[in-house]
Structure 1
């Protein structure tokens, strides 16, 4: 059986990168509790104190899958790798996945344009699903934002406010940027040209074509996003709030199932949810 083939048991063999982290553990628990997925590999960085430990030990159960930093070992039995790590780590995983024929579900954020190009080139060899947020609710929210932006294309100022926990290292969040991209595309604008990420001092009047971003970091906030359409005499706010990473894990498993019959290509959660 090759890595890309569906197991005879009908269960998808899934490996998890960043296995000892908060998101990694949530993914492993979701896979463990799933009826159609099985944990096939668990990866972590060299030097991690979790190396060698059974990946489901934190659940008080044994999976027979040790956490390893050896990519070939961790991906040897996998059909799909779920990766919520850092851009550099994800790109290293991509190279191993291309070699071994393992598909990729990527929730990592903070990619540069050049790194996104590398991912797209990798998708010519193996199926890659890239989404800054795997939550079903967030992706439905993105569709609502597209509709709202088209209807409120004139006379409304657009601001995006996001809040996350103190440990998040990139800003604005990948989800906030995706919201900006969806809105800008709906308005026929280029986000790179109309985004405003900082305001300080005497800024002058607001450019009506701009899309503003504000970032909050603190505590254990899982993820809050609000898009404000501020007009004359009224304001429309579209908000999504995450209270648990479980929604990201369940969305990731939906992505795994979607990729089952996809040999190569670049996809996102709109493809998974039929929101095109």
Structure 2
């Protein structure tokens, strides 16, 4: 294992994902390859009651209200905050030279353009999902879409807890992008994200999405390939948020060894050239 220590900052540190990420950093496997991560600084919204106090048990890290200070003090910053923060945080990463791990979902075109831009100066790892299982599922979806062809209908189903604010989920879109890439088509031109009323027959080549919300479901995703004669299904269910935190921490360790560039979890896991 490398002796290099990397200072890691967490924005949105008091959220469910923020707390899970901090716990994962503090309990990381000593045998893991790559840089050793040190939980160094954290922030949350200015009116959070924890500002000015220790932000996680058994640490001396004080929660502050300035997200920029986190980027200024860190080698790598992990961000799972709402999408309205991404452009601002990306510019902080570029300004202070911090690698940027983005787990935020529901990003728009402007967000991606800014991430592309700052990837010319710092390392950016952005993914709709940091789970090892989901990324393997995504890679297989790309391969299957390429092999099966447009005569097989593709439908993507996802379910999350009732508090999730974006739909379809970033993971569902990631799987859809992979399937579209396998077919050599543009997802924006083939995606069908809602059906209501008299919709007419399904069009050949459509990639359909269905969204469910309810309860405390962490995340469930399924991609269905259906022909007139048979059906293939890949599915993934998250049992707890620890798998996302583990992936983000793995990405942070990997990013610490890169100089710059725009990457995904596929790159971290060595799956970017898989299948197709």
1:11 to 2:5 alignment: yes
Partner of 2:55: 55
SS at match of 1:15: strand
Corresponding residue SS for 1:226: strand
Distance 1:201 1:75 in 2: 49
The total of aligned residue pairs comes to 265
Matched, 1:30 2:24: yes
Residue in structure 1 matching 2:106, options 106, 110, 121: 110
Q: 2:14 aligns with which of 20, 38, 48?
A: 20
Give the corresponding residue for 2:33: none
Other-structure match for 1:271: 267
Give the 5 Å matches for 1:228-247. Answer: 228-247=224-243
Report the CA distance between 1:16 and its aligned residue: 0.7
Describe how 1:1-276 pairs up with structure 2 within 5 A.
Answer: 10-34=4-28, 35=30, 36-57=36-57, 61=58, 63-275=59-271, 276=273
Cα distance in 2 for residues equivalent to 1:210 and 1:131: 24
Q: Is contact 2:168-2:209 (8 Å) kept?
A: yes
TM-score normalised by the chain length of structure 1: 0.92
CA distance in 1, matches of 2:165, 2:14: 18
The answer for unaligned runs of 5 or more in structure 2 is: 31-35
1:26 Cα deviation after fit: 0.2
Distance 2:71 2:108 in 1: 26
TM-score, scaled relative to structure 2: 0.92
Contact 2:53-2:62 at 8 Å conserved across structures: yes
| Shift in alpha-carbon separation, 1:205–1:54, aligned structure 2, 3 A | same
Per-residue deviation, 1:96? 1.5
Structure 2: how far apart are the matches of 1:139 and 1:274? Answer: 10
Query: 1:95 offset after TM fit, Å?
Result: 1.6
How far apart, CA to CA, are the structure 1 residues paired with 2:174 and 2:145?
14
> Is the CA contact (8 Å cut-off) linking 2:191 and 2:207 kept in structure 1?
yes
Cα distance in 2 between the residues matched to 1:119 and 1:75: 15
1:121-165 CA deviation, whole Å, 9 max, x = no partner?
011111101111011111011111011111111421110000001
Contact 1:40 1:75 in 2 (8 A): no
